[in-house]
Structure 1
Amino acid sequence: MSAKKLKKERLKKHLFTKNRLVILNDDTFEEIFSLRLTLMNVFVVAGVGAILIIFVTTFIIAFTPLREYIPGYPSTELKRNATELALKSDSLEFAIKKNEAYLQSIQKVLNGNLEYAKVNKDSILAIAVDTLPDLELTPSEKEMELRREVEQEEQKSPVKPSQKGKK
Protein backbone atom coordinates (compact mmCIF):
# COMPACT_ATOMS: atom_id res chain seq x y z
CA MET A 1 0.00 0.00 0.00
CA SER A 2 1.06 3.53 -0.57
CA ALA A 3 2.02 5.88 2.25
CA LYS A 4 -1.07 8.04 1.73
CA LYS A 5 -3.41 5.10 2.04
CA LEU A 6 -1.67 3.87 5.18
CA LYS A 7 -1.94 7.33 6.69
CA LYS A 8 -5.69 7.49 5.90
CA GLU A 9 -6.27 4.04 7.42
CA ARG A 10 -4.38 4.99 10.57
CA LEU A 11 -6.35 8.25 10.88
CA LYS A 12 -9.63 6.41 10.35
CA LYS A 13 -8.70 3.85 12.98
CA HIS A 14 -7.68 6.60 15.39
CA LEU A 15 -10.96 8.55 14.82
CA PHE A 16 -13.21 5.54 15.39
CA THR A 17 -11.34 3.83 18.24
CA LYS A 18 -13.57 3.65 21.31
CA ASN A 19 -12.21 5.29 24.44
CA ARG A 20 -13.71 5.59 27.90
CA LEU A 21 -14.00 8.85 29.79
CA VAL A 22 -14.17 8.14 33.52
CA ILE A 23 -14.61 10.59 36.37
CA LEU A 24 -13.38 9.21 39.73
CA ASN A 25 -13.55 10.42 43.30
CA ASP A 26 -9.91 11.22 44.13
CA ASP A 27 -10.12 10.08 47.76
CA THR A 28 -12.00 6.78 47.34
CA PHE A 29 -11.34 6.06 43.65
CA GLU A 30 -15.08 5.50 43.31
CA GLU A 31 -16.34 5.85 39.72
CA ILE A 32 -18.76 8.76 39.54
CA PHE A 33 -19.33 9.00 35.79
CA SER A 34 -18.31 6.91 32.80
CA LEU A 35 -18.78 7.53 29.08
CA ARG A 36 -17.63 5.64 25.97
CA LEU A 37 -16.51 7.99 23.20
CA THR A 38 -14.75 8.04 19.87
CA LEU A 39 -12.77 11.02 18.63
CA MET A 40 -15.29 11.42 15.80
CA ASN A 41 -18.15 11.69 18.35
CA VAL A 42 -16.26 14.44 20.17
CA PHE A 43 -15.74 16.38 16.91
CA VAL A 44 -19.41 16.03 15.94
CA VAL A 45 -20.68 17.14 19.36
CA ALA A 46 -18.25 20.07 19.43
CA GLY A 47 -19.27 21.14 15.90
CA VAL A 48 -23.00 20.93 16.64
CA GLY A 49 -22.44 22.81 19.90
CA ALA A 50 -20.54 25.59 18.11
CA ILE A 51 -23.25 25.92 15.45
CA LEU A 52 -25.93 26.00 18.17
CA ILE A 53 -24.09 28.73 20.10
CA ILE A 54 -23.68 30.81 16.92
CA PHE A 55 -27.39 30.40 16.08
CA VAL A 56 -28.56 31.37 19.59
CA THR A 57 -26.23 34.38 19.70
CA THR A 58 -27.41 35.56 16.27
CA PHE A 59 -31.05 35.12 17.33
CA ILE A 60 -30.53 37.09 20.55
CA ILE A 61 -28.78 39.94 18.75
CA ALA A 62 -31.26 40.09 15.86
CA PHE A 63 -34.52 39.98 17.82
CA THR A 64 -33.79 41.78 21.10
CA PRO A 65 -32.86 45.36 21.97
CA LEU A 66 -29.23 44.24 22.33
CA ARG A 67 -28.70 45.06 18.66
CA GLU A 68 -28.85 48.76 19.52
CA TYR A 69 -25.49 48.44 21.29
CA ILE A 70 -23.78 47.23 18.11
CA PRO A 71 -22.28 50.08 16.07
CA GLY A 72 -24.24 50.69 12.88
CA TYR A 73 -27.67 49.69 14.21
CA PRO A 74 -29.91 52.71 14.87
CA SER A 75 -32.09 52.68 17.96
CA THR A 76 -35.86 52.44 17.64
CA GLU A 77 -36.23 55.86 19.24
CA LEU A 78 -33.92 57.36 16.63
CA LYS A 79 -35.97 55.78 13.82
CA ARG A 80 -39.20 57.08 15.34
CA ASN A 81 -37.77 60.60 15.73
CA ALA A 82 -36.49 60.60 12.15
CA THR A 83 -39.93 59.62 10.85
CA GLU A 84 -41.66 62.31 12.90
CA LEU A 85 -39.18 64.95 11.75
CA ALA A 86 -39.63 63.94 8.12
CA LEU A 87 -43.42 64.32 8.43
CA LYS A 88 -43.07 67.68 10.17
CA SER A 89 -40.65 69.00 7.57
CA ASP A 90 -43.00 67.95 4.76
CA SER A 91 -45.92 69.78 6.36
CA LEU A 92 -43.74 72.84 7.00
CA GLU A 93 -42.60 72.90 3.37
CA PHE A 94 -46.22 72.81 2.26
CA ALA A 95 -47.12 75.66 4.63
CA ILE A 96 -44.18 77.73 3.36
CA LYS A 97 -45.27 77.21 -0.26
CA LYS A 98 -48.79 78.36 0.60
CA ASN A 99 -47.50 81.44 2.41
CA GLU A 100 -45.13 82.33 -0.44
CA ALA A 101 -47.96 82.05 -2.96
CA TYR A 102 -50.12 84.28 -0.78
CA LEU A 103 -47.34 86.85 -0.37
CA GLN A 104 -46.65 86.89 -4.11
CA SER A 105 -50.29 87.57 -4.84
CA ILE A 106 -50.33 90.36 -2.22
CA GLN A 107 -47.26 91.89 -3.88
CA LYS A 108 -49.00 91.77 -7.24
CA VAL A 109 -51.97 93.61 -5.76
CA LEU A 110 -49.74 96.22 -4.11
CA ASN A 111 -47.78 96.78 -7.32
CA GLY A 112 -51.00 97.12 -9.27
CA ASN A 113 -50.47 94.08 -11.47
CA LEU A 114 -53.66 92.42 -10.25
CA GLU A 115 -57.12 93.73 -9.59
CA TYR A 116 -58.19 93.79 -5.94
CA ALA A 117 -61.52 92.07 -6.62
CA LYS A 118 -59.78 88.97 -8.00
CA VAL A 119 -57.62 88.37 -4.88
CA ASN A 120 -59.06 85.74 -2.60
CA LYS A 121 -56.92 83.88 -0.08
CA ASP A 122 -58.76 80.62 -0.60
CA SER A 123 -58.39 80.71 -4.36
CA ILE A 124 -54.69 81.52 -4.04
CA LEU A 125 -54.16 78.59 -1.70
CA ALA A 126 -56.08 76.31 -4.02
CA ILE A 127 -53.85 77.32 -6.93
CA ALA A 128 -50.70 76.70 -4.89
CA VAL A 129 -51.60 73.06 -4.22
CA ASP A 130 -49.68 70.80 -6.54
CA THR A 131 -52.01 69.02 -8.92
CA LEU A 132 -51.37 65.85 -10.84
CA PRO A 133 -51.03 66.19 -14.59
CA ASP A 134 -53.89 64.92 -16.71
CA LEU A 135 -53.17 61.36 -17.71
CA GLU A 136 -54.44 59.60 -20.78
CA LEU A 137 -56.56 56.79 -19.39
CA THR A 138 -57.63 55.14 -22.62
CA PRO A 139 -56.77 51.43 -22.76
CA SER A 140 -54.18 50.23 -25.24
CA GLU A 141 -54.86 47.56 -27.87
CA LYS A 142 -53.02 44.90 -25.84
CA GLU A 143 -55.09 45.72 -22.77
CA MET A 144 -58.32 45.46 -24.77
CA GLU A 145 -57.19 42.06 -26.11
CA LEU A 146 -56.45 40.86 -22.56
CA ARG A 147 -59.87 42.05 -21.39
CA ARG A 148 -61.55 40.08 -24.19
CA GLU A 149 -59.60 36.93 -23.28
CA VAL A 150 -60.56 37.25 -19.61
CA GLU A 151 -64.23 37.75 -20.51
CA GLN A 152 -64.16 34.65 -22.73
CA GLU A 153 -62.59 32.55 -19.96
CA GLU A 154 -65.18 33.79 -17.47
CA GLN A 155 -67.99 32.83 -19.84
CA LYS A 156 -66.53 29.32 -20.27
CA SER A 157 -65.96 28.84 -16.53
CA PRO A 158 -68.92 27.24 -14.68
CA VAL A 159 -67.89 28.90 -11.36
CA LYS A 160 -68.88 32.54 -10.95
CA PRO A 161 -66.14 34.92 -9.74
CA SER A 162 -68.11 35.65 -6.53
CA GLN A 163 -68.13 31.90 -5.70
CA LYS A 164 -64.36 31.33 -6.11
CA GLY A 165 -63.52 32.52 -2.59
CA LYS A 166 -66.26 30.31 -1.03
CA LYS A 167 -64.89 26.97 -2.27
Structure 2
Amino acid sequence: MSEKRLKKQKLKKHLFTKNRLVILNDETFEEVFSLRLTLMNVFVFASIGAILIIFVTTFIIAFTPLREYIPGYTSTKLKKDATELALKSDSLEFAIKKNEAYLESIKKVLNGNLEYAKVNKDSILAISVDTLPDLQLTATEAEMNLRKQVAEEEKKKIEKRK
Protein backbone atom coordinates (compact mmCIF):
# COMPACT_ATOMS: atom_id res chain seq x y z
CA MET A 1 0.00 0.00 0.00
CA SER A 2 1.08 3.52 -0.60
CA GLU A 3 2.19 5.78 2.20
CA LYS A 4 -0.72 8.22 1.71
CA ARG A 5 -3.24 5.43 1.95
CA LEU A 6 -1.70 4.20 5.16
CA LYS A 7 -1.86 7.69 6.65
CA LYS A 8 -5.52 8.02 5.68
CA GLN A 9 -6.39 4.68 7.24
CA LYS A 10 -4.47 5.57 10.40
CA LEU A 11 -6.27 8.94 10.64
CA LYS A 12 -9.63 7.28 10.02
CA LYS A 13 -8.93 4.69 12.70
CA HIS A 14 -7.86 7.44 15.12
CA LEU A 15 -10.97 9.58 14.41
CA PHE A 16 -13.40 6.71 14.87
CA THR A 17 -11.79 4.92 17.82
CA LYS A 18 -14.28 4.84 20.66
CA ASN A 19 -13.18 6.41 23.93
CA ARG A 20 -14.97 6.66 27.22
CA LEU A 21 -15.47 9.91 29.10
CA VAL A 22 -16.04 9.17 32.78
CA ILE A 23 -16.80 11.63 35.57
CA LEU A 24 -16.03 10.24 39.03
CA ASN A 25 -16.76 11.44 42.54
CA ASP A 26 -13.31 12.31 43.88
CA GLU A 27 -13.95 11.12 47.42
CA THR A 28 -15.70 7.82 46.78
CA PHE A 29 -14.50 7.09 43.23
CA GLU A 30 -18.14 6.46 42.33
CA GLU A 31 -18.97 6.87 38.66
CA VAL A 32 -21.25 9.87 38.27
CA PHE A 33 -21.44 10.08 34.48
CA SER A 34 -20.10 8.02 31.60
CA LEU A 35 -20.16 8.68 27.86
CA ARG A 36 -18.67 6.83 24.89
CA LEU A 37 -17.28 9.21 22.27
CA THR A 38 -15.17 9.26 19.16
CA LEU A 39 -12.92 12.12 18.14
CA MET A 40 -15.19 12.71 15.12
CA ASN A 41 -18.29 13.04 17.36
CA VAL A 42 -16.51 15.62 19.49
CA PHE A 43 -15.43 17.57 16.40
CA VAL A 44 -18.96 17.50 14.88
CA PHE A 45 -20.67 18.60 18.11
CA ALA A 46 -18.11 21.36 18.68
CA SER A 47 -18.56 22.64 15.11
CA ILE A 48 -22.36 22.60 15.37
CA GLY A 49 -22.18 24.35 18.75
CA ALA A 50 -19.88 27.07 17.39
CA ILE A 51 -22.12 27.67 14.37
CA LEU A 52 -25.18 27.81 16.62
CA ILE A 53 -23.55 30.34 18.96
CA ILE A 54 -22.51 32.53 16.00
CA PHE A 55 -26.03 32.35 14.55
CA VAL A 56 -27.74 33.25 17.84
CA THR A 57 -25.31 36.11 18.52
CA THR A 58 -25.80 37.53 15.03
CA PHE A 59 -29.57 37.24 15.36
CA ILE A 60 -29.57 39.02 18.75
CA ILE A 61 -27.37 41.85 17.49
CA ALA A 62 -29.19 42.30 14.17
CA PHE A 63 -32.78 42.30 15.44
CA THR A 64 -32.55 44.02 18.82
CA PRO A 65 -31.59 47.54 19.89
CA LEU A 66 -28.07 46.26 20.60
CA ARG A 67 -27.14 47.06 17.00
CA GLU A 68 -27.10 50.76 17.88
CA TYR A 69 -23.89 50.16 19.84
CA ILE A 70 -22.08 48.93 16.73
CA PRO A 71 -20.24 51.75 14.90
CA GLY A 72 -21.99 52.61 11.65
CA TYR A 73 -25.53 51.87 12.80
CA THR A 74 -27.69 54.80 13.81
CA SER A 75 -30.80 54.74 15.90
CA THR A 76 -34.19 55.08 14.24
CA LYS A 77 -34.98 58.08 16.45
CA LEU A 78 -31.86 59.86 15.18
CA LYS A 79 -32.82 59.18 11.55
CA LYS A 80 -36.36 60.45 12.17
CA ASP A 81 -35.09 63.62 13.89
CA ALA A 82 -32.62 64.30 11.07
CA THR A 83 -35.39 63.99 8.46
CA GLU A 84 -37.70 66.33 10.39
CA LEU A 85 -34.93 68.90 10.83
CA ALA A 86 -34.08 68.77 7.13
CA LEU A 87 -37.73 69.44 6.23
CA LYS A 88 -37.98 72.30 8.74
CA SER A 89 -34.78 73.91 7.50
CA ASP A 90 -36.02 73.74 3.90
CA SER A 91 -39.32 75.41 4.80
CA LEU A 92 -37.54 78.07 6.88
CA GLU A 93 -35.15 78.79 4.02
CA PHE A 94 -38.11 79.23 1.67
CA ALA A 95 -39.84 81.58 4.13
CA ILE A 96 -36.67 83.67 4.48
CA LYS A 97 -36.40 84.02 0.69
CA LYS A 98 -40.01 85.19 0.51
CA ASN A 99 -39.47 87.74 3.30
CA GLU A 100 -36.27 89.02 1.69
CA ALA A 101 -38.09 89.55 -1.61
CA TYR A 102 -40.85 91.44 0.21
CA LEU A 103 -38.34 93.63 2.05
CA GLU A 104 -36.50 94.38 -1.20
CA SER A 105 -39.72 95.55 -2.81
CA ILE A 106 -40.48 97.72 0.26
CA LYS A 107 -37.00 99.28 -0.03
CA LYS A 108 -37.68 100.03 -3.70
CA VAL A 109 -40.90 101.78 -2.77
CA LEU A 110 -39.20 103.80 -0.02
CA ASN A 111 -36.35 104.81 -2.35
CA GLY A 112 -38.86 105.80 -5.01
CA ASN A 113 -37.83 103.20 -7.56
CA LEU A 114 -41.25 101.55 -7.58
CA GLU A 115 -44.74 102.86 -7.37
CA TYR A 116 -46.72 102.08 -4.22
CA ALA A 117 -49.64 100.74 -6.25
CA LYS A 118 -47.43 97.96 -7.62
CA VAL A 119 -46.45 96.74 -4.14
CA ASN A 120 -48.74 93.89 -3.23
CA LYS A 121 -47.43 91.24 -0.88
CA ASP A 122 -49.15 88.38 -2.70
CA SER A 123 -47.87 89.40 -6.13
CA ILE A 124 -44.34 89.91 -4.82
CA LEU A 125 -44.32 86.56 -3.10
CA ALA A 126 -45.71 84.87 -6.19
CA ILE A 127 -42.93 86.36 -8.31
CA SER A 128 -40.18 85.45 -5.86
CA VAL A 129 -41.04 81.76 -5.72
CA ASP A 130 -38.23 79.91 -7.42
CA THR A 131 -39.47 77.68 -10.17
CA LEU A 132 -37.54 75.23 -12.25
CA PRO A 133 -36.65 76.55 -15.68
CA ASP A 134 -38.42 74.98 -18.62
CA LEU A 135 -36.06 72.42 -20.01
CA GLN A 136 -35.98 71.63 -23.68
CA LEU A 137 -35.40 67.90 -23.70
CA THR A 138 -34.40 66.57 -27.07
CA ALA A 139 -32.99 63.19 -27.94
CA THR A 140 -29.39 62.91 -29.12
CA GLU A 141 -28.37 61.00 -32.22
CA ALA A 142 -27.19 58.05 -30.12
CA GLU A 143 -30.59 57.84 -28.46
CA MET A 144 -32.37 58.01 -31.79
CA ASN A 145 -30.17 55.19 -33.18
CA LEU A 146 -30.86 53.08 -30.11
CA ARG A 147 -34.60 53.65 -30.47
CA LYS A 148 -34.45 52.55 -34.13
CA GLN A 149 -32.45 49.45 -33.21
CA VAL A 150 -34.90 48.45 -30.46
CA ALA A 151 -37.86 49.00 -32.79
CA GLU A 152 -36.26 46.78 -35.45
CA GLU A 153 -35.57 44.02 -32.89
CA GLU A 154 -39.20 44.15 -31.72
CA LYS A 155 -40.43 43.85 -35.31
CA LYS A 156 -38.22 40.78 -35.83
CA LYS A 157 -39.59 39.17 -32.65
CA ILE A 158 -43.15 39.79 -33.76
CA GLU A 159 -42.45 38.33 -37.20
CA LYS A 160 -40.90 35.20 -35.65
CA ARG A 161 -44.01 34.64 -33.54
CA LYS A 162 -46.21 34.65 -36.63
**TM-score category by the smaller chain?**
0.7 to 0.9
Partner residue, 1:163: none
Q: Deviations over 1:92-142 (max 9, x none)?
A: 111111111111111111111222233232332223222223433111111
Instruction: Please say which of residues 36-45 and 92-101 is displaced more in the overlay.
Output: 36-45
Cα distance, 1:34 vs structure 2? 5.2
- CA distance in structure 2 between the partners assigned to 1:76 and 1:25 by the alignment: 55
Q: Deviations over 1:133-152 (max 9, x none)?
A: 34331111111112222222
- CA distance in structure 2 between the partners assigned to 1:77 and 1:138 by the alignment: 44
Partner residue, 2:137: 137
Root mean square deviation of aligned Cα: 3.2
Partner residue, 2:153: 153
Partner residue, 1:40: 40
Cα distance, 1:17 vs structure 2? 2.5
- Give the ranges of 4+ consecutive aligned residues of structure 1 lying more than 6 Å apart after TM superposition: 23-27
TM-score, structure 1 length as denominator? 0.71
Partner residue, 1:106: 106
- CA distance in structure 1 between the partners assigned to 2:78 and 2:143 by the alignment: 46
Q: Deviations over 1:31-54 (max 9, x none)?
A: x86543222321232122112211
Gaps of 5+ in 1: 160-167
Gaps of 5+ in 2: none
**3-state DSSP class of the match of 1:103?**
helix
- CA distance in structure 2 between the partners assigned to 1:45 and 1:83 by the alignment: 49
Cα distance, 1:71 vs structure 2? 5.3
Question: Which residue identity does 1:100 align to in structure 2?
Answer: E
Question: Which residue identity does 2:111 align to in structure 1?
Answer: N
TM-score, structure 2 length as denominator? 0.73
